Each structure stands twice: as C-alpha cells, then as structure tokens.
Structure 1
Amino acid sequence: MNNSTLSCPKCGSTSLYKNGHDKYGNQQFLCKLCHHSFKLSHSQKRKNFPFPYPKCSSCSKPNVFV
C-alpha cells in the first residue's frame, strides 16, 4: 500500500474532499482551500455495452453504426 499523502496540484494543500467520480469511474477530489477539482488517474475505462455488436459476415469485425 502506498503511504504518500494526497495534495492539491494547484496549491499543495492536503485538506481535500472526495468529489464523486468522472464518467469513467475515476475518483475526483476537491481542495478545501482553493476549490480546485482534480483526479489522480487519467486512464479511461471502456464502457461496457449491454449487448455485443453484430459481426460482419465477410470479415468478422463488429459492425458499428454511427
């Protein structure tokens, strides 16, 4: 487990609130002093679709209709 303390990247304060999650599920934080909102991870998780796309009969790739 990592023992480092979280700090605001803008002002350096360690007084933080958890501020929900972004659309990819990454935790967001809010600084109590400067009210800067940030998250630790910039990785994006893929959204799971409730059904698989139908596959093309000639190339077997998923057909994605936009």
Structure 2
Amino acid sequence: MTFNTGAMHCPKCNSNKIVKNGRTHYGTQRFKCQKCGRQFVESPTRQPINHSKRELIDKLLLERLSKAAITRVTGVSLRWLQYYVNQKYY
C-alpha cells in the first residue's frame, strides 16, 4: 500500500511513492521510497555535517587536539569523527 502525501517526497529521487517501513529504535516512523529504495524518516533530528564545520575539524586535527575535545567544540559525535578521521587517513 503506497503512502502518498503531497508534502512528503523521497530525499534522494524526489518521488512521492512512499510506503511505511517500520520504526527506528527510537520509535520514529520510517518510510521507504518504492522508486529508489531509499529509507528515511520524515523529520530527521540529525543533519549532515556542513563544509565549514568539516574545515574547522580539519584545522583542529592539525592542531593535534584530542577527539574528545573536537567533539565538544564542534558538536559532532565521537563515532562520526572517528569515521571521518579514518576516511582522511585512507
């Protein structure tokens, strides 16, 4: 059964052919696009890290600050920061 609303669109392909697809571990309704298969929530609380914040993180890494200090200053999670550092390394 397609959940078709005028307001909700897939963030990847902008299709409006959306179906409910369970809940996240926080209890938020999850949706799935029938066109591209992308799973998403309607109003995500976490947003992608923008370019200016990534530049700040790069500068803080060059200053050899600890990862814990960088997470406190920038507000990113320690898990995301470790993933980002690993990507930079490779």
TM-score normalised by the chain length of structure 2: 0.41
Unpaired runs of at least 5, structure 1: 44-66
The CA RMSD over aligned residues, in Å, is 1.7
What is the TM-score of this pair, normalised by structure 1?
0.55
Relative contact order: is structure 1 or structure 2 higher (C-alpha 8 Å, sep ≥ 6)?
Answer: 1
Q: Which residue among 24, 35, 38 is the counterpart of 1:36?
A: 38
Query: Hey, what's the Cα distance between the residues in 2 that align with 1:29 and 1:39?
Result: 6
The alpha-carbon deviation at position 4 of structure 1 amounts to: 5.3
Structure whose residues are more often strand by fraction: 1
Among all aligned residue pairs of Structure 1 and Structure 2, give the percentage whose two residues are the same amino acid: 39
Q: Is the 8 A contact 2:6 2:16 kept in 1?
A: no
Structure number with greater Rg is: 1
CA distance in 1: counterparts of 2:19 and 2:25, whole angstroms: 18
Misfit runs of 4+, over 4 Å: none
The number of aligned residues is: 41
> How do 1:5-20 residues align onto structure 2 when only pairs under 5 Å count?
5-20=7-22
Unaligned runs of 5+ in 2: 46-90
Alignment of 1:1-66 (within 5 A): 5-43=7-45
Q: Which has the higher helix share?
A: 2
